[in-house]
Amino acid sequence: MSASYATTVDARILPVPQKHPTIFRAFDGLAVGTAMLLVNDHDPKPLYYTFAAERAGEFEWRYLEKGPEVWQVEISRIADATGRQAPPDTMGCGGLHAHHEHHDHHAHQHAHTGSPTQILKDEHTLILEALDGVERKLAALESGAAPDRAYFEKAVRFIRTFADECHHGKEENLLFKTMVDRGFPLQGGPIAVMLSEHEAGRGYIREMAEASASVVQDKAATEKIIRNGRAYIQMLRPHIDKENMILYAMADNMFSPEDQAEMGKAFERFETEKIGANVHEEMMTLQAELKAGA
């Protein structure tokens, strides 16, 4: 083990959405010839695959401790980035920049500038931010707060339209289909797991929608919202992590530049034909309200 590290990241104490961005920021700040220490509570092998896809030739990965309760990995920077650029601002189902909140309604609603998987990752960020707000509302219900029927109806609308119809629609009809066309297994592999979890999520949201209609009058409906809302969040967060860390990296390694370009165009067609610009604006309004807990 090296005597010292330029930085240490203890991923055990980080919220799930912040884990990988924090780790990559720490690595990108390293000088060539220095190393960072990663501490985690499970084997970070999926993170290794993401490094291999996004920082190829720049790092070395060495396990120092392999569980069962603590994993430690020395990640060394062995070369500077060669031609890699910071991911550009991208637009997804929301039609607005995922990393920058703005309300310029004259902006072109469907101008994607990132890779297809980067667009999907940015949509994940928006979904996770909304779910953080939903989780706070669920905690308030558990603490005895009065049910907010309008809020949970907004949550159902956002999840069904943005997370499922648009985001999962692009995954299932375009990304996954192209991966299968290129030889990736549909059954018995990661795609089958993702599809199964998509369907499970639809079941949770269906239950939430039914309960929201009577949540003010019926205590059992409140408990149903809490139960299904918690189940959905607990399922979707690791689901997103698996897609970001593993499946999207596999897709990027598999697709040719021509595949990437064609899929980007297909994403834009899908959003224009299946979703529509007015719905995009509504989804971004709902996302902001859910994020704020309003």
Find residue 73's DSSP bridge partners. 38, 63
- Please say which residue of 16, 47, 77 terminates a domain: 77
Q: Please tell me what DSSP assigns to residue 66.
A: E
How would residue 86 be classed by pLDDT, with cut points 50, 70 and 90?
very low
Say if residue 141 is in the same domain as residue 198: yes
User: Tens digit of pLDDT for each residue in 128-140?
Assistant: 999 999 999 999 9
Task: Out of 2-6, 108-112, 145-149, 257-261, pick the least confident.
Answer: 108-112
Give domain status of residue 266, yes or no. Answer: yes
Cβ contacts of residue 248 below 8 Å, gap of 6+?
A: 117, 120, 121
Give domain status of residue 97, yes or no. Answer: no
Q: Does residue 107 carry a pLDDT above 70? A: no
Give domain status of residue 128, yes or no. Answer: yes
Say if residue 154 is in the same domain as residue 277: yes
Give domain status of residue 132, yes or no. Answer: yes
Dist CA 133 CA 155 (whole Å)? 10
Give domain status of residue 84, yes or no. Answer: no
Say if residue 135 is in the same domain as residue 232: yes
- Please say which residue of 59, 77, 95 terminates a domain: 77
Model pLDDT, residue 98: 42
Give me the DSSP letters along 235-289. Answer: HHHHHHHHIIIIIHHHHHHH--HHHHHHHHHHHHHHIIIII-HHHHHHHHHHHHH
How would residue 227 be classed by pLDDT, with cut points 50, 70 and 90?
very high
Give domain status of residue 29, yes or no. Answer: yes
How would residue 88 be classed by pLDDT, with cut points 50, 70 and 90?
very low
Model pLDDT, residue 293: 82
Instruction: Look at the pTM and tell me if it is higher than 0.75.
Output: no
Say if residue 133 is in the same domain as residue 180: yes
Give domain status of residue 94, yes or no. Answer: no
Model pLDDT, residue 277: 63
Say if residue 126 is in the same domain as residue 250: yes
Say if residue 183 is in the same domain as residue 72: no
**SS3 state at 97:** strand
User: Tens digit of pLDDT for each residue in 243-271?
Assistant: 999 999 999 999 998 999 999 999 988 88
Output 132 or 273, whichever has higher pLDDT.
132
Say if residue 35 is in the same domain as residue 126: no
Output 18 or 29, whichever has higher pLDDT.
29
Say if residue 278 is in the same domain as residue 171: yes
CATH (domain of 56): 3.30.110.40
Say if residue 169 is in the same domain as residue 39: no
How would residue 115 be classed by pLDDT, with cut points 50, 70 and 90?
confident
Q: Where are the beta strands (DSSP E) in 53-120?
A: 59-66, 71-77
Mean pLDDT value across residues 154-160: 96
Model pLDDT, residue 102: 39
Domain count along the chain = 2
Cβ contacts of residue 80 below 8 Å, gap of 6+?
A: 32, 58
Q: Does residue 120 carry a pLDDT above 70? A: yes
Give domain status of residue 89, yes or no. Answer: no
Task: Out of 32-36, 53-57, 87-91, 123-127, pick the least confident.
Answer: 87-91
Residue type, 54: E
Say if residue 126 is in the same domain as residue 50: no
Residue type, 201: G
- Average pLDDT of the chain is 85
Q: Copy the structure tokens of residue 249.
A: 């990296």
Q: Copy the structure tokens of residue 290.
A: 């859910």
Q: Where are the beta strands (DSSP E) in the chain?
A: 7-10, 35-40, 59-66, 71-77
Mean pLDDT value across residues 34-41: 95
Model pLDDT, residue 110: 41
- Please say which residue of 77, 98, 131 terminates a domain: 77
CATH (domain of 209): 1.20.120.520
Alpha carbons within 13 angstroms on the beta-carbon side of residue 28 total 14
What is the residue range of 215's domain?
116-292
Say if residue 134 is in the same domain as residue 215: yes
Say if residue 254 is in the same domain as residue 157: yes
